[in-house]
Amino acid sequence: MEFETKDISFNNLKREARIAYSETQIYDLIIIGGGITGVGIALDASLRGLRTLLVEKKDYASGTSSKSTKLIHGGLRYLKQLELGLVKETGLERAVAHNNIPHLVHPEKMLLPIVNKGTFGKFSAMLAITVYDKLAKVPEKDRKKSFSKKETQELEPLLNSQILKSSIQYSEYRTDDARLTIELIKAAIREGAEAFNYMEVEEFIYENNIVKGIICIDRVAQIKREFKGAQVVSAAGPWVDVLRTTNRSKVGKSLQLTKGVHIVLPREKLPLESSVYFDAFDGRMLFAIPRANVTYVGTSDTNYQGNKDKICCTLEDANYILKATNNMFGIKKLEVEDIISSWAGLRPLIHEDGKSPSELSRKDEIFISESKLISIAGGKLTGFRKMAERIVNLVIESNKNLEPKGCQTKFYKIHSDSFQDYNEFETYLEQIKKEYDDILHSKYDAWYFVTTYGKNAKTILNSARSNSEEGIKSLLSAEIEYCIQYESCYAPDDYFNRRSGRIYFEIDSVKSNLDFIIDIFSKRFAWKIEQIVEMKNLALSYLEEVEAIQ
Ligand SMILES: Cc1cc2nc3c(=O)[nH]c(=O)nc-3n(C[C@H](O)[C@H](O)[C@H](O)COP(=O)(O)OP(=O)(O)OC[C@H]3O[C@@H](n4cnc5c(N)ncnc54)[C@H](O)[C@@H]3O)c2cc1C
């Protein structure tokens, strides 16, 4: 299938040749972990001319970076913990991210209801949001607005009138975390980096007791691979301490993992007009966010010590979120059976004695071992660019052979064919709605394709129009083929989870077309029968994980 795109090929079809070449190289920088932190570093480093390799043990964004609340935010509640530095940095980064990738970072008005016995009273909320707006230099027109009870009910009729007193509306941004991660690694590749998914680091290579490379198990070919580099950085998120242990450098501060769950409800069960940041019943706060034909709600925050590779939404997690939601909104009581999907992620936070999960700092931390392994953990999705800048500064400072060059990412357009601004994005969306009306299915399809693929929406839709499939299959087949050729998609789950988000937000399109989806992959990668069976079982188990409350 041919695509007209400004993207460059980034795929697993010629994986062997790419790996063989990489094994002969000595990189300036090797990054472990293809979450937002790792891919942000890869882009910053390659833009500064560093020869960069990134390896990811599963798929890009398969860790925490596809399990967040999907907000680009400063974190209003961190003001209560006096994390002014963090709030200022991430608050300022919101507009940078919006300018650099407008189709994926959207302005969003957030409604904060003031309720009886809530976390915020009217005065404290006004004060906090004034500080928030000031720290983040929010333009006058976008600053907070305060509403009476009656006005609030007009804005969001579903709020429980028995506890509602008034509200404040403030500005945030929303994104798709996995898509942002994918776009960043594609940009890094465009700028000269190399990257492999399904490449798990098992050991380090040392020269004179200094880390000078990695030994991996290639999960596709099931063989060992070795890559060499002057500097290795671990951005392995919840697995950072596993690699510090491998490096025999886990001393001093360590990670504390906390689990956060989101549940997805059909939009008609919770038909919100606006995103809402609301009080649970225990002093914590949750987000309820309408998105196309669903509304998702989260998150919980509990200590976690289980399997980091299989994190599930338990009945307790689901009931916690449902109880808070039923309390805040005057709707027909929501039950566990109403949940259509869910996701659970781990926050890699830095342990502090005596603090509860919600009290732990969200600031990032850098560890440098005696053998010069640099590890970075903590932080927020929103802060990825500044975290990357700090790491690449460190790498350049510690290697005299590298030309000192400042960070280049502040005004860098991440997409290969970027919208110049939000107006252009909105015009393009309207155009797609009209031009492709004949092949689009639901009223959200145009929005979905443009917010997911930017200007590559046309690329994919043109291909869908000309292929031999019918109905939704023509869209799926064009989309999957694009993801295989340009987005390094290797397994069905890469596509329906982290490239498209369909498993959470359009789960029926995956369930009813699963064999069709697997068939496209099996033909493209020439899978043998036992691989097809294995991939189908894996896909079914992912579907179960997302659908079932354990
Ligand atoms: C419930 C929840 C909600 C959140 N909401 C928000 C939000 O709305 N906004 C916001 O800004 N932040 C949010 N965050 C925080 C944000 O999601 C995280 O800070 C961020 O995703 C962490 O990214 P990371 O790249 O450091 O880790 P990860 O995304 O986990 O990436 C680490 C990667 O390393 C790989 N890896 C591990 N070991 C190896 C190995 N041996 N070899 C190769 N690869 C390896 C893993 O497979 C993984 O893909 C939220 C977090 C949670 C849990």
At 204-217, the pLDDT tens digits run 999 999 999 999 99
At residue 359, does pLDDT exceed 80? no
- Ligand 1 pocket test target in 39, 55, 56, 68 with most atoms within 8 Å of CB: 68
Phi, psi of 415, rounded to the nearest 5 degrees: -80, 150
User: What residue owns the CA closest to ligand 1's atom 21?
Assistant: 65
Residue range(s) of every CATH 3.50.50.60 domain in the chain: 15-64+178-254+361-397
Does 222 score more than 90 pLDDT?
Answer: yes
For the Cβ of 201 lying below 6 angstroms from any atom of ligand 1, the answer is yes
Distance 59 CA to ligand 1 centre (A): 12
| Rounded distance between C-alpha atoms, residue 368 and residue 96, angstroms | 29
Phi-psi domain of 379 (left: phi exceeds 0; alpha: psi -120 through 50; beta: other): left
**Domain 15-64+178-254+361-397 CATH (choose: 2.40.10.10, 3.50.50.60, 3.90.1150.10, 3.50.40.10):** 3.50.50.60
Name the residue with the closest Cα to ligand 1, atom 41. Answer: 201
Running DSSP on this structure, what letter comes out for residue 65?
Answer: G
Average pLDDT over residues 144-168: 96
How far apart are alpha carbons 492 and 524 in whole angstroms? 12
Structure tokens at 170: 């403030």
**For range 473-479, the mean pLDDT:** 95
378 within ligand 1 shell (Cβ under 6 A): no
Q: Is the pLDDT at 353 greater than 90, yes or no?
A: no
**CA of 376 relative to ligand 1 center, distance in Å:** 11
pLDDT on residue 86: 82
- DSSP-derived letter for residue 121 is -
Ranges of H-type helices in 253-372: 315-328
CA within 13 Å, CB half, 134: 8
Task: Say whether domain 422-547 belongs to CATH 1.10.8.870.
Answer: yes
Determine how many CB atoms are found less than 10 A away from the CB of residue 157. 13
**22: helix, strand or coil:** helix
Whether 236 is in the pocket of ligand 1, judged by its Cβ within 6 Å, is: yes
Res. 315 pLDDT band, cuts 50 70 90: very high
How large is the average pLDDT for residues 3-16? 94
**357 pLDDT above the threshold of 90:** no
* pLDDT tens, residue by residue, 233-253: 999 999 999 999 999 999 888
Higher pLDDT, 285 or 83: 285
Q: Record the tokens describing residue 150, joined without a space.
A: 């009656």
Decide: 57 in ligand 1 pocket, CB within 6 A: yes
Report residue 83's pLDDT band, with 50, 70 and 90 as the boundaries. confident
Residue nearest ligand 1's atom 26 by CA: 237
Tokens of 258: 């906390």
Backbone dihedral angles phi then psi of residue 109, each to the nearest 5 degrees:
-85, 130
Q: Do 110 and 170 meet the contact criterion of CB atoms below 8 Å apart?
A: yes
Distance in angstroms (rounded) separating the CA atoms of residues 49 and 313: 42
CA of 241 to the centre of ligand 1 (A): 14
Q: Which of 64-78, 313-327, 530-544 has the lowest mean pLDDT?
A: 64-78
**Mean pLDDT of the 146-171 span:** 96
In the chain, which residues fall in CATH 1.10.8.870? 422-547
Among 32, 55, 58, 65, residue to substitute to test ligand 1 (most atoms within 8 Å of Cβ)? 65
- Does the beta carbon of 114 lie inside 6 Å of ligand 1? no
What does DSSP say about strands 223-234 and 255-266: parallel, antiparallel, or unpaired?
A: unpaired
Residue 158 to residue 331: CA distance in whole angstroms: 7
Q: What residues contact 55, with CB distance under 8 A and at least 6 apart?
A: 30, 31, 32, 34, 195, 196, 199, 200, 201, 214, 216, 227
- Rounded mean pLDDT, 159-167: 96
Report the separation in Å between the CA atom of 34 and the middle of ligand 1, taken as the mean of its atom positions: 9
Task: Decide: 175 in ligand 1 pocket, CB within 6 A.
Answer: no
Q: Does the beta carbon of 45 sit less than 6 angstroms from any atom of ligand 1?
A: no
Average pLDDT across the chain, whole number: 94
Residue closest to 545 by CA, chosen among 339, 327, 280, 343? 343
In this prediction, residue 355 carries a pLDDT of: 79
- For atom 51 of ligand 1, which residue has the closest CA? 68
Q: Is 73 in the pocket of ligand 1 (CB under 6 A)?
A: yes
Whether the Cβ atoms of residue 216 and residue 225 lie closer than 8 Å to each other: yes
Mean pLDDT value of segment 132-139: 87
CATH 3.30.9.10 fits 261-350, yes or no: yes
Q: How far is the CA of 64 from the centre of ligand 1 (A)?
A: 3
Phi, then psi, of 340 in degrees rounded to 5: -95, -25
Whether the CB-CB separation of 346 and 257 falls below 8 Å is answered with yes
Cite the residue boundaries of each domain of the chain with CATH code 3.30.9.10: 261-350
Q: Are 254 and 227 in contact (CB under 8 A)?
A: no
Helix 445-453, helix 422-435: angle, nearest 10: 140
366-375 pLDDT, tens per residue? 999 999 999 9
- Please tell me the predicted confidence (pLDDT) of residue 72: 95
H/E run at residue 210: strand 210-218
What is the reported pLDDT for 361?
A: 76
Ligand 1: does its nearest atom lie under 6 Å from the Cβ of 260? yes
Tokens at residue 173, please? 């941004």
Give me the mean pLDDT over the 194-200 stretch: 98
User: Is residue 548 pLDDT above 90, yes or no?
Assistant: no
Q: Which burial class, exposed, middle or buried, applies to 11 when counting CB atoms under 10 A from its CB (0-12, 13-18, 19+)?
A: middle
- Rounded CA-CA distance 501/492 in Å is 12
Q: Which of the listed residues 285, 381, 488 should we mutate to test ligand 1's pocket, taking the one with most ligand atoms within 8 A of CB? A: 381
386 lines ligand 1 (CB under 6 A): no
Closest by CA to 42, choosing from 67, 60, 23, is 60
User: What pTM did the predictor assign?
Assistant: 0.97
Q: Is the CB of 64 under 6 A from ligand 1?
A: yes
CB 101 within 8 A of CB 453: no
- Name the helix (H) or strand (E) containing 507: helix 507-511
Ligand 1 centroid–CA 65 distance in Å is 4
- Which residue's alpha carbon is at the smallest distance from atom 33 of ligand 1? 33
Cα 308 to the chain's mean position, in Å? 17
pLDDT at 49: 97
Nearest atom in ligand 1 to 62's CA: 49
